[in-house]
Structure 1
Amino acid sequence: MVKLASARETRMYGPGLARNRSEYMNAGLYVFATILLTGGFTAQLSSEPKSGLALLLIGFLILIIVNLHDLIAHLAGINYRLALMEFDIQLGLVEFAVPVVYSLGTILFFLATLFLFIQAENGYGYFKLERHVLSMLIAGPVLWLLGSIHNSCQIYERADGHVQILQESVHIPFLISSVLFLIGAIINSREQIGYVHHGMELVGSSWIWLGIFGSLILFIGALANVIRVFKMQQLDGLRLEKLRGGAQEWLIQIREGQMPLIAEERRKRRPVDVEEGQSSTAPTPYKDVLVGQT
């Protein structure tokens, strides 16, 4: 549901300008999707609640597409080698799990809304779907909340305060909105106990109002994400240090023909290097030589 504010320097959306355009496109689509969600929940208070369901379906569909696109961008960064996740905790816990969890939660929200729309269109002829609708309305926000918690488990080796504020300005609104959606779904489920409701009657006013407030906060987070993407693109060199020792670094070394060194192999090769007269110290940078001479 949320555009992942990754601690990585880049994601592999494509080379050069294509990567920047993809970032802006994803951020813009999230803003548009949150507007549709706000309008969809608000329209359910009108005389034509089915129009609100249609807006919600479109908004959820856009969120699914963008999250899957974000997931593909992360996997492309490691050439889709899922085995590298065992060497990179953040890659598995955040950059892979978060888009997957958000996508699953959004799919459940989409299906629940679709079932409500089908009942409204067909005169409430699908009574067996009602209990599944209430369950999915709770399961969807639970997955969103789980994804928001995972999204906060990012590792920063070194980053200035400005960049971290930009990151948290995206995390916090989406976490709050997930909580509101979950509270609304639980209250709505409790209100249905002891009553036989069908179609649009399955969602009460509490779910709608909390959905409106949650969507508005989600819209604020989406705007913050646009600002974050713009600022990160405009920075002269990102002030968010690239994570060292992760899966992407291993893959870059493989591409350059330098296999990642294992500690045991390094210990085995060190005596050989000493015998051959090779120095184990790194070469002095040219800039340091000039400073020393001065």
Structure 2
Amino acid sequence: MVKLASARESRVYGPRRARNRSEYINVGFYVFSVIVLLGGFLVELSKERKWGLVMLLVALAIILIVNVHDLIAHLAGIDCRLPLMEFDLQLALVEFAVPLVQAVGSLLMMLGILFLFIQEKGHDGYFKLEKHAMIMLVAGPVLWLLGSIHNSCQIYERADGDVQVLQQSVQIPFLMGSLLFVVGAIMNIHDQSTMAHHGTDLLGRRFTWFGIFGSTLLVIGGLANLVKVFKMQQGELRLEKLRGGAHELLVQEREGQVPLILDGQRRRQRRQGEEAPLATVPVAGKVTPYKDVLVGES
């Protein structure tokens, strides 16, 4: 899913007065999308399978938009300076990687379903898309699973028990739901290898059931995330804000407190200064170190 509620305010969801409201909308749209996703898989069990695929497309499109919006919000929080991620492990693994990976996974699944609709036309020339569609329907959930693993890399310096319970109630359903999607997609490839199905019939029953269970877990995780964001915005959770990192360095640079120089560059400059040869000045026909000249003159 999208990045979970953070222990620091480094997101820019809009103007300062509308920031909290924008985040509520962001999380709420995700909950709505996974509910539509669950409804799409349920419709797949009926005779109107095409409408089920349309619902899946709509749900995946909303998930894609939510994650892209979340990614832009986090990049805007650091003025889109990607090199700053070297200072902040959570910024790279969670705030940047999670929405990016989730968005790409949603896009791959959308393309896979679109390829199934193209095959539904029944032309032999389109059957070569079948293999690509099945691969995309596996790659998308795999990226979702990777994003769920990255979501577990969030760091809180100090947090009370309520925060930890809500954290686990969000992470575990997302992780298990994504895993069910991966297992269902792999089993679907195995099932369809022994059949001559094409088009929308390539989504087998087992994949549909795995999708139902996985979507249910995503709904549970989304609702828990909504509760967590609400409590964090209302200040009901005792949580120490993260100190340091890329965002704080950027703020210090804006205030003129510290130059934004990488530690590696500092070490290289220090090493080069130590290894540089001393300047020499000729005195009385011989070469004398410059520092000795200064000492002698004093």
Partner of 1:197: helix, strand, or coil?
coil
Offset from partner CA, 1:34-73 (integer Å, 9 cap, x none):
1110111111111110000110000000000000110111
Alignment of 1:52-71 (within 5 A): 52-71=52-71
Match of 2:75 in 1: 75
Match of 2:113 in 1: 113
Offset from partner CA, 1:241-265 (integer Å, 9 cap, x none):
2222200010010111111588879
Q: CA deviation at 1:124?
A: 5.4
Decide whether the 8 Å contact of 1:84 with 1:247 is kept in 2.
yes
Question: 2:92 corresponds to which letter in structure 1?
Answer: G
Question: 1:257 corresponds to which letter in structure 2?
Answer: G
Match of 2:289 in 1: none
Match of 1:243 in 2: 242
Match of 1:84 in 2: 84
Closer/same/farther in 2, CA of residues 174 and 41 from structure 1, 3 Å limit: same
Q: CA deviation at 1:168?
A: 2.1
Partner of 2:188: helix, strand, or coil?
helix
Match of 1:196 in 2: 196
Offset from partner CA, 1:178-214 (integer Å, 9 cap, x none):
0110110111111122332211221110000110111
Q: Are positions 1:252 and 2:251 aligned together?
A: yes
Identical-residue share of aligned pairs (%): 62
Question: 2:8 corresponds to which letter in structure 1?
Answer: E
For structure 1, the residue ranges without an aligned partner over 5 or more in a row are 269-294
Distance 1:107 1:31 in 2: 18
Match of 2:26 in 1: 26
Offset from partner CA, 1:54-109 (integer Å, 9 cap, x none):
10000000000000110111111111111111111111111111111111111111
Partner of 1:46: helix, strand, or coil?
coil
Q: CA deviation at 1:175?
A: 0.6
Match of 1:169 in 2: 169
Distance 1:40 1:108 in 2: 17
Decide whether the 8 Å contact of 2:101 with 2:144 is kept in 1.
yes
For structure 2, the residue ranges without an aligned partner over 5 or more in a row are 271-298
Decide whether the 8 Å contact of 1:166 with 1:228 is kept in 2.
yes
Decide whether the 8 Å contact of 1:124 with 1:198 is kept in 2.
no
Closer/same/farther in 2, CA of residues 142 and 78 from structure 1, 3 Å limit: same
Larger deviation, residues 15-24 vs 248-257: 15-24
Query: Which structure's CA Rg is the greater one?
Result: 2
Distance 1:138 1:55 in 2: 19
Decide whether the 8 Å contact of 1:9 with 1:240 is kept in 2.
no
Alignment of 1:265-276 (within 5 A): none
Distance 2:260 2:56 in 1: 51
Q: Are positions 1:45 and 2:45 aligned together?
A: yes
Alignment of 1:89-108 (within 5 A): 89-108=89-108
Question: 1:22 corresponds to which letter in structure 2?
Answer: S
Match of 1:9 in 2: 8
Closer/same/farther in 2, CA of residues 261 and 71 from structure 1, 3 Å limit: closer
Larger deviation, residues 132-141 vs 186-195: 186-195
Decide whether the 8 Å contact of 2:5 with 2:229 is kept in 1.
no
Decide whether the 8 Å contact of 1:124 with 1:199 is kept in 2.
no
Query: Normalising to structure 1: TM-score of the pair?
Result: 0.84
Partner of 1:63: helix, strand, or coil?
helix
Query: Normalising to structure 2: TM-score of the pair?
Result: 0.83
Match of 1:292 in 2: none
Larger deviation, residues 107-116 vs 2-11: 2-11
Question: 1:191 corresponds to which letter in structure 2?
Answer: D
Larger deviation, residues 223-232 vs 56-65: 223-232
Question: 1:244 corresponds to which letter in structure 2?
Answer: R
Question: 2:167 corresponds to which letter in structure 1?
Answer: Q
Offset from partner CA, 1:11-55 (integer Å, 9 cap, x none):
221343311111110111011101110111111111110000110
Partner of 1:178: helix, strand, or coil?
helix
Match of 2:278 in 1: none
> Runs of at least 4 residues of structure 1 off by over 3 A?
260-265
Decide whether the 8 Å contact of 2:149 with 2:175 is kept in 1.
yes
Match of 1:141 in 2: 141
Decide whether the 8 Å contact of 2:5 with 2:225 is kept in 1.
no
